[in-house]
Structure 1
Amino acid sequence: MHKDGRTPPSAQFKKEHLSLSNIKKTVSIKNDYLLKPYIPAYPELVEFQVEKVSHVTGEHGVRGIFAKSGFKQPSELENNEHYFLWWNLSVTPHDIFSAEDRFLTSLFPRRSAAQICNGSPILQHFTNSEAFMEESSYGNFRFTFSLKELLWHYGDQFCGRDSPVLHIYDTALYKKEIQYTVVVHPPEVHLYDDYPRLPNDGVGDSVCWYNKGAMWWRCQSPSDDYNSALEVNRSDASVSVSPHASVYYVWDHVSVAFHMEPGWVLHVDRDRLFRRVKACEVSDHHLLRSPDYPLSLHDAESTLADLKARYG
């Protein structure tokens, strides 16, 4: 079940989060970006510890969310047996800073304090895929919650005294994108019983895991356009970045899909919704579905002001 109107993935691997290197080994894969013979050296397998997730929608969607005081099945999908409420990891500048520190420590475990202080930021040259952008393909209105808070709301409303269950759902390969999906559902929903449980640690080659309120993501490819090359100097425990001719490549990200039944509304009080929503720009290659269309940032902010006047 796709979260937008784009074409289905070119390849889908159910019940597993397949690493980039293992996807490449799959004989049936035909992807011009994925199979490029040369990609400039970049920071690979960087571990991001992300506490927040975001849901982005258009004007039609945001008005519906405030009208219902929560998130529900879109009207065009109301006859579906169930659907997914989609959220993406919301990576902050602090998350990037911390991930860079972990990455450098993995390269040079015995870095001195001087080497740490004198190093120049490197991830800012490579974290330029949609996973790290302020603008969005899905609309002008971004709701951002801590994943822990969102799981609490979901569990309180749909799981009784139990906690939601997190499973590995799939790996979906698009033209320039690898999407790793985690499905969240109540324990009494048995549609996903034969899907592996999401790990709570990074042992082995796990792409992502959930631990103590944060989703850990071992990023496979942080950019869709590599125009810099990473240079590692082992002798003085340093790294540097040099310009490189652009090479387009696949990028990866993690989505969290909340199982929703017909008629379910994930209720959040409107005051909290107003604190969690912000207007954002829509990216050039958007995936908005009718009747929504991209708004200017000014018009999007005016829409939020209108909603605040009506419901605030």
Structure 2
Amino acid sequence: MASPFKTRNDRTDMPELPEVETTRKGITPKANQQVIKAFIVRNASLRWPIDLTLKQKLPGLVIQSINRRGKYLLLKTELGTLLIHLGMSGNLRVLPENTPALKHDHVDIVLENGYLVRLNDPRRFGSVLWHSANEGSVEQHKLLAKLAPEPLSDEFNGQYFYEKTRNRKVAIKSLVMNSAVAVGAGNIYANESLFMSKIHPQTMASKLTEKQCELLVNNIKKVLEAAIEQGGTTLKDFMSPDGKPGYFVQKLNVYDQAGKPCPVCGTPIERIILNQRASYFCPKCQKT
């Protein structure tokens, strides 16, 4: 039987990693170390069907930790871990327990402290999955096992990335967005980090020097750290846990800036489609 986790193309790059990390930080104060009172499912038909037996399994369990792996939020309990992905339009909010549900409010994790964690997902590309403790570490889950090292970790470094680019006859932007090679550099941040590194998005990955790989990795870290610090990029579909839009104070240099002057040289920013994604670059600063 084919794995259910390969039935749909993984095109869920919004919200991006900084928004997910902002969400993790937002729900942690009210949800971490709290007892689950109820698990309410209004619509189980997300990217993959929600296991409805969780309505019996989860009540009484303590949320022992709230972590993130890539774009997945991991809510660990004694019996297993909930893996939550926000898809393309989802958000988690912490609300008072008696807050009426609105359209697209599909799942509530009700806590005994009088709050609930609510998943709202208009497009239903998000997911709520369960990894039992009997199956081993959650890192062994099919959706996590092949992920690259976390982008802000020491394991993600120039030498690692240089080795991954050898003999890779693919555009560097595509490789940066390959979660088996680099986690977290979605379309916005891939565009920005390549601009900061003066690397054209269509440059063949195998042509990058070790020095270029070191620079690119450092800039991926910088742009993600800045976004996390400032709350995430403003996306019309993203809402932070307190119900206010996410934001990214730092001015985006090239993303969605087609026709506008490059902030470095003044040359108009250009836009191309690369692997069905919009790519933005300065033709003067980022030569092929």
How does the TM-score come out when normalised to structure 2? 0.21
How does the TM-score come out when normalised to structure 1? 0.20
Q: Flag the structure with higher strand content.
A: 1
